[in-house]
Structure 1
């Protein structure tokens, strides 16, 4: 899934907000809780436990920040049934930032059989990110 949105804040501030995956509680409609598991400055290798609700079920994934660049963040999440990959790319657009957000899920084992039937629900969640992420990032104060 891919969505493009504009956030009315400078690129560096949008990246600073999104590099802390704990903020997913504010902008991801599926996230119930997201807690950082390590300490110290945000860096590649930082990890979070993200608890999400989907179709009435709650599941937790361990996410890691695998790419941290000035205009790109990549998070990889995993548990026993799914691998998630979130790729965020940022482009300056005047005083605002254009964010291209790509998310992919790869199910494991028997769960793979259900993935074609869940696409519509994942697309709706992605639409929810477009509705929630820009105002959350614009309201954030470091």
Structure 2
């Protein structure tokens, strides 16, 4: 299994960040690997909502069906699956200096023979984690508007 963790300080209130990130279709704006992410479930986003995600990694496209597995006032957990892998995006939110401290963990569990590639891919997933850490705050600023936090 591969695990990547990043801690980000965001200049927006927890409630706004949580609402924005609970719609996984916004991954198109902050996840460098996501090409498209389409909400499949009708109605408002809630536990059990599903998305069809198309990503590209190392020049290959892969499709996963993501489900919002957990939504609470301080946590979101998305689980994506296909034949090759299970991907879990876990986000913890806490109030921090008038904004939000976001702890983002991505877990990738390969299935079958693909498990053999996991140790070789760790470095590339760390690089993707760095890109998420760069892109996510800017995506939140675009999606939520300028920070309402005093500077």
**TM norm structure 1:** 0.98
Check if 1:122 corresponds to 2:128: no
Q: How does 1:74-89 map to 2 (within 5 A)?
A: 74-89=77-92
* CA displacement at 1:95 relative to structure 2: 2.2
**Pair 1:141–1:5, CA change in 2 (3 A):** closer
* CA displacement at 1:138 relative to structure 2: 1.8
The equivalent of 1:70 in structure 2 is 73
What is the CA deviation profile of residues 27-70 of structure 1, one whole-angstrom value per residue up to 9, with x for unaligned ones? 00010100001110110000001110000000000000010001
Check if 1:101 corresponds to 2:104: yes
Q: 5+ residue gaps in structure 2?
A: 146-151
Q: How does 1:20-31 map to 2 (within 5 A)?
A: 20-31=23-34
- Secondary structure in structure 2 of the residue aligned to 1:26: helix
Match of 2:141 among 130, 138, 141: 138
The equivalent of 1:56 in structure 2 is 59
Q: How does 1:29-48 map to 2 (within 5 A)?
A: 29-48=32-51
Counterpart-to-counterpart distance in 1, 2:142 and 2:12 = 10
- Note the aligned Cα RMSD (angstroms): 1.0
Checking the alignment, whether the CA contact within 8 Å between 2:16 and 2:144 is kept in structure 1 is: no
Q: 5+ residue gaps in structure 1?
A: none
Checking the alignment, whether the CA contact within 8 Å between 2:66 and 2:80 is kept in structure 1 is: yes
Q: How many residues were matched structurally?
A: 142
**TM norm structure 2:** 0.92
Counterpart-to-counterpart distance in 2, 1:94 and 1:22 = 28
Checking the alignment, whether the CA contact within 8 Å between 1:68 and 1:74 is kept in structure 2 is: yes
